[in-house]
């Protein structure tokens, strides 16, 4: 996080995440599903700059930017060039700013710029992390006596999106956790110790819509006569992973990865299943889709092994014409202290 007192601007890294485990329960009355997931932040991030101050009505918005009044006295100006087709009121960064203004009663214009580095539709939580960064930034710009405490900030984050509370902790200064078990729709966060791990991330060209992935999972279960995991037994499915995390055993963590949404996501993006098999063929300690996809990650034993894994995977993909991948990157889990 970098603060400019003159311009009242704050810049945050909004980190990505991967799901080491994702168990999905039955659909709820509110349309969500209860989940039990273990998430860890990854050193891949968007850059979110937030400023608060008088709105200059004579300034024309830049391409990819927009502005809207929330209450007649405050205005949110949002610039996200990477997502020009996404309406501003559907961008979680905008939603977070509007919610914060309402919660705190702040009457100040807000300027937000989101420099996207986390691919959209990858299941790595880029939009939720951007929202968390906006909340943290605005809270940091308030006088200390008016700022929200962390419990209120996490509660506000819950109203914005399922993963936003997790990212509040990851993006905070200093970070509140290196990893977490998240339950409910993701809003019940319990910090867990997670060893540093090296990952290789592969991003198919086809994104996956989160809502459609959950709906397809429900359809698949119904067609097969399968019952969703009962909430009370979620912990049984992650017992082995929990023990591996506590022991810092990266190889065992790799063996314990799972994601209930994989089969559903593969029906929209077959590359997910192919990439997962390729990761194992290339020697990954474990591989899984993250979130609702479409990104797939493999765990390596060291930085050198991760670089080798990425190189082998890239050559293998190039030899198969039906698999199209936007990018392959090597990244470490965890976060740097937010000081960009």
The set of catalytic residues is 17, 163
Which two three-digit tokens encode residue 272? Answer: 């997910």
Quickly list DSSP for 273-295. HHHHHHHHHTT-SEEEE-TTSS-
126 contacts 14 by C-beta, under 8 angstroms? yes
Token reading at 1:
């996080």
Are residues 272 and 265 in contact, defined by beta-carbon separation less than 8 angstroms? yes
Q: What is the DSSP letter of 303?
A: H
Whether residue 218 contacts residue 339, with contact meaning beta carbons closer than 8 Å, is answered with no
Q: Cis check for the bond before 201: say yes or no (omega within 30 of 0).
A: no
Q: Which helix (H) or strand (E) element contains residue 189?
A: strand 188-191
Gap between the Cα atoms of 82 and 248, Å rounded: 37
Task: Tell how far CA 292 is from the center of its chain.
Answer: 11
Specify which residues 16 forms β-bridges with: 42
| C-alpha span between 242 and 231 (Å, rounded) | 17
Q: Can you spell out the DSSP letters for 63-92?
A: TTEEEEESSSS-EEEEE-TT-TTS-GGGSH
- Distance CA(14)–CA(155), nearest Å, equals 19
């Amino acid at each position: 996080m970098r603060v400019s007192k003159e311009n009242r601007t704050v810049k945050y890294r909004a980190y990505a995440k991967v799901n080491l485990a994702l168990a999905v329960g039955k659909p709820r009355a509110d349309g969500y599903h209860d989940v039990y997931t273990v998430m860890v932040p990854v050193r891949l991030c968007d850059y979110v700059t937030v400023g608060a101050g008088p709105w200059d009505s004579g300034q024309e918005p830049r391409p990819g930017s927009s502005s809207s009044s929330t209450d007649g006295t405050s205005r949110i100006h949002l610039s996200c060039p990477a997502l020009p087709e996404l309406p501003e009121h559907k961008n979680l960064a905008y939603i977070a700013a509007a919610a914060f203004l309402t919660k705190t009663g702040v009457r100040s214009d807000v300027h937000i710029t989101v420099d996207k580095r986390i691919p959209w539709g990858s299941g790595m939580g880029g939009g939720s992390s951007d929202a968390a960064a906006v909340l943290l930034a605005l809270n940091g710009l308030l006088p200390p006596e008016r700022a929200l405490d962390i419990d209120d900030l996490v509660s506000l984050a819950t109203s914005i999106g399922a993963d936003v509370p997790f990212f509040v902790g990851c993006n905070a200064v200093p970070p509140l956790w290196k990893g977490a078990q998240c339950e409910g729709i993701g809003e019940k966060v319990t910090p867990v110790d997670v060893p540093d791990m090296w990952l290789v991330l592969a991003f198919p060209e086809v994104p996956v819509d989160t809502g459609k992935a959950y709906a397809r999972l429900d359809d698949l279960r119904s067609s097969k006569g399968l019952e969703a995991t009962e909430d009370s037994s979620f912990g049984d499915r992650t017992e082995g992973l929990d023990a591996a995390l506590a022991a810092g055993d990266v190889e065992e963590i790799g063996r314990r990865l799972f994601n209930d949404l994989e089969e559903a996501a593969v029906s929209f993006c077959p590359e997910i299943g192919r990439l997962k098999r390729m990761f194992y063929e290339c020697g990954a300690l474990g591989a899984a889709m993250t979130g609702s996809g479409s990104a797939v990650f493999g765990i390596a034993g060291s930085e050198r092994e991760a670089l080798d894994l990425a190189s082998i995977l890239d050559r293998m993909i190039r030899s198969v014409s039906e698999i199209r991948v936007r990018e392959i990157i090597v990244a470490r889990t965890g976060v740097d202290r937010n000081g960009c």
